[in-house]
Amino acid sequence: MATGATTGYAAGEQTNTSPVDYAQEVTYNIAPAGTYQRLRLTGESLAAQDSTSTPDEINNLPEVAETVLTGRSTGGSVNGVLSYGTYDDFLAGVLGADFTSLAAITPSPGKFTVQQVDPGNGNLPTIWASNAGTSLSVFGSVPVGAYVRILDPANNIDLYAVVIGKNAGSTLIFQAGALSAIGSISPSASMSIIYNGVTNSGLGKTYTIRKKLAGEWQVFTGNMVNQVQIQLQKGQVPTVQIDFIGSDMTVTTVDVSSAVNAATTSPLMDVVGGFLGCSIFGQSPAGCIQSATITLARDGSGQDTGMGHVGACGIQFGALKASMDIEYFFKDYTEFLAWQAGQKGQVSVSIKGSDGYGYQFTLLNGRIFNPKNPISGKNATIVTTISVTGNPLPGGGTFAITRITPTS
């Protein structure tokens, strides 16, 4: 009986054996050495994009003149299914920030004091860390705009709130009403502030992305994340599309990496048991959520080019533009009335995997536009669609991603 495999059966290079990996660049448009990370994806479309011109040269023969290269860039998308930790680098890239994971902050020795109306901080809610009346600077690493978890099991408190300001590193300042769930309760000695996430900032990040085909590499350099779109829809797997614009692509036999980390193995998320809900200004819509699309884009981004070389001289990262489009079964006018009043506040969507790890995506100061609930035909449930636009908080901060971890 014959054993072994048949050779020569493939008509060409196969997708299953064509890995894609990436690394953040130390210097723009230069492929870094060191460790690369293999990507987990359902498809990609990265390609060189040549700009050409065919001059209107007058010729004896009726034929167009020679085509001339006038510029080159790269672009395309990476597509995948949402899973924990897989696309964190690119989420950080589009937000211009780094994920931060802080150990639970407790003022030991000392205590937290919660004020619902703090006269010394604009009559806003605050949490102050102190010991024997002396301020403790325990919040130095907590960024303004952070979506922090406030945990006090002894008082049955577990809530999230946005930090809109700080005072001397010892006081966190929140939006009016953000700490109302705590009320007048005196925090226990075990109360802690936890932050594990990212809020948009001003860092510029570019990446080198490589495709290995036929024993050689297509190396795409100078790639910035121009847009990330996360789509959660009933009956579908949650998907991610990451759009890049880059500088150049070369083909090489040289492997500049010292190692390549394996692709993540976290479970794929789903919108049945994994969907944790949607909150609009502190409450969920009355009807079941049908879909939620999160779009993070760099408005005004682009490349600076010059003569004497292909590719870009530099890059413009633009400004973050964040939005959500949410669909749900219509039951009442709560969101319409919020739109009518011009209300602004936190709008979030949360999802996790079967291992308990996931994300909460939050517009920190969202506002509803274009609500609609068309009557489309008979024997159907009316669906409301709202668009929520992200606006910066007074101290800065438009969008935050909070990592969800299993309850210990």
Structural domain including 45 reads 19-53+68-97+202-252+265-404
List of E strands, 25-82:
34-38, 43-44, 47-53, 68-81
In a shared domain, residues 32 and 132:
no
Q: Does some domain include residue 285?
A: yes
Cα first-last separation, the chain: 55
* Tens place of pLDDT per residue across the chain (408 aa): 889 999 898 888 888 889 999 999 999 999 999 999 999 999 999 999 999 999 999 989 999 999 999 999 999 999 999 999 999 999 999 999 999 998 899 988 899 999 999 999 999 999 999 999 999 999 988 988 788 999 999 999 998 888 888 998 999 999 888 899 898 888 998 899 999 999 999 999 999 999 999 999 999 999 999 999 999 999 999 999 999 999 999 999 999 999 999 999 999 999 999 999 999 998 899 999 999 999 999 999 999 988 988 889 999 999 999 999 999 999 999 999 999 999 999 999 999 999 999 999 999 999 999 999 999 889 999 999 999 999 998 888 999 999 998 865
Among 175, 199, 223, the domain-final residue is: 199
Residues sharing a CB contact under 8 Å with residue 189, sequence separation 6 or more, in sequence order: 106, 108, 111
pLDDT, position 395: 80
In a shared domain, residues 42 and 181:
no
Which amino acid is present at 185? I
pLDDT, position 161: 87
pLDDT, position 407: 67
This prediction's pTM? 0.90
In a shared domain, residues 192 and 208:
no
Q: For residue 53, give Cα distances in angstroms to 64, 302, 332, 348, 364.
A: 11, 21, 57, 47, 46
* pLDDT tens profile 253-279: 999 999 999 999 999 999 999 999 999
Q: Does some domain include residue 260?
A: no
In a shared domain, residues 361 and 276:
yes
Q: For residue 184, give Cα distances in angstroms to 41, 151, 180, 381.
A: 49, 16, 9, 43
In a shared domain, residues 163 and 128:
yes
Q: Which of 149, 175, 202 is closest to 346 using CA atoms?
A: 175
In a shared domain, residues 88 and 124:
no
Among 155, 181, 199, the domain-final residue is: 199
In a shared domain, residues 72 and 108:
no
DSSP symbols for 333-385: SHHHHHHHTT-EEEEEEEEE-TTS-EEEEEEEEEEEEEEE----SSS---EEE
pLDDT, position 408: 58
Is residue 155 classed exposed, middle or buried when 0-12, 13-18 and 19+ CB atoms within 10 A define those classes?
Answer: middle
Q: Name the residue with tokens 């495999």.
A: 5
